[in-house]
Structure 1
Amino acid sequence: MNIYVSNLSFNVQDEDLKEFFTPYGEVTSAKVINDRETGRSRGFGFVEMSDDAAGKKAIAELDGATVENRAISVTVAKPKEDRPARGNGGGGYNNGNSYNKNRY
């Protein structure tokens, strides 16, 4: 089960994230997402757990929990393909609404 964790303190590292979930079952991976340019945490991450029942229990018990004075949000992660691509909100030079679409 892939789990999305948001509102993390910028001090939380991958290993910390793994430790939050380990009491609920086997954590196969835990990754805090960092900004590409600065390397600083973006305040969210993903945890993968091998057992769905353990993942659901972790979500139920950790959602709203306080970690470093912040109430974290813990939900089932949505598949990547369900989200629009970054920067592809209908604008840009190559979108279907291009002003010269029918000019030639």
Structure 2
Amino acid sequence: MVKLFVVGFPRDMSEISLDQLFSKEAMIRRVTIIRDIQTGISKGYAFVETVDQIGAERAIRALHGTRIGDRTMSVRIAEEKTPQSARVQNVIETNQIKSETEKKIIGKRPRKARKF
């Protein structure tokens, strides 16, 4: 399975219409248009899952840059989503580096004066 990221299609286009468009070039497993949770209106991008790499490449060649109405469609292989745990680890490491850098720049903090 290969997941494609698709943007630039008309916001009123349905999953069925996208499926019909892509199925001319590849065997499609699933089409998911990303929609606003509250309104249900398309956010203007979708994920199309193809059965194989060959079909995905054929769909990219055939459909990337295609004009539909007043919009130009962009089609590319979707990037792998970073797992939540990896994102949290990245934030922790970034904060550690930032903290260590601050220590090097500031040095030891002066002690507060004691009251007698």
Alignment TM-score > 0.5, same fold: yes
Question: CA shift at 1:69, angstroms?
Answer: 2.5
Q: CA RMSD in A?
A: 2.4
Runs of 5+ unmatched residues, structure 1 = 99-104
Q: Which has the higher helix share?
A: 2
Give 1:31's aligned residue.
Answer: 32
Runs of 5+ unmatched residues, structure 2 = 100-116
Q: Detail structure 1 runs of 4+ shifted over 3 Å in the superposition.
A: 95-98
In structure 1, how many angstroms separate the alpha carbons of the residues matched to 2:69 and 2:52?
27
Indicate the SS of the match to 1:3.
strand
Indicate the SS of the match to 2:82.
helix
Give 1:8's aligned residue.
Answer: 9
Indicate the SS of the match to 2:43.
strand
Identity of aligned residues (%): 25
1:33-52 correspondence to structure 2 within 5 Å:
33-52=34-53
The one-character-per-residue Cα deviations of 1:3-54 (angstroms, maximum 9, x if unpaired) are 0000121111111111111011210001111011221100000000102101
Aligned length: 90
One-letter identity of the residue aligned with 1:70 = R
TM-score by length of 2: 0.68
TM-score by length of 1: 0.76
In structure 2, how many angstroms separate the alpha carbons of the residues matched to 1:17 and 1:25?
12
Cα contact 2:26–2:58 (8 A) shared by 1: no
Between structure 1 and structure 2, the one with the greater Rg is 2
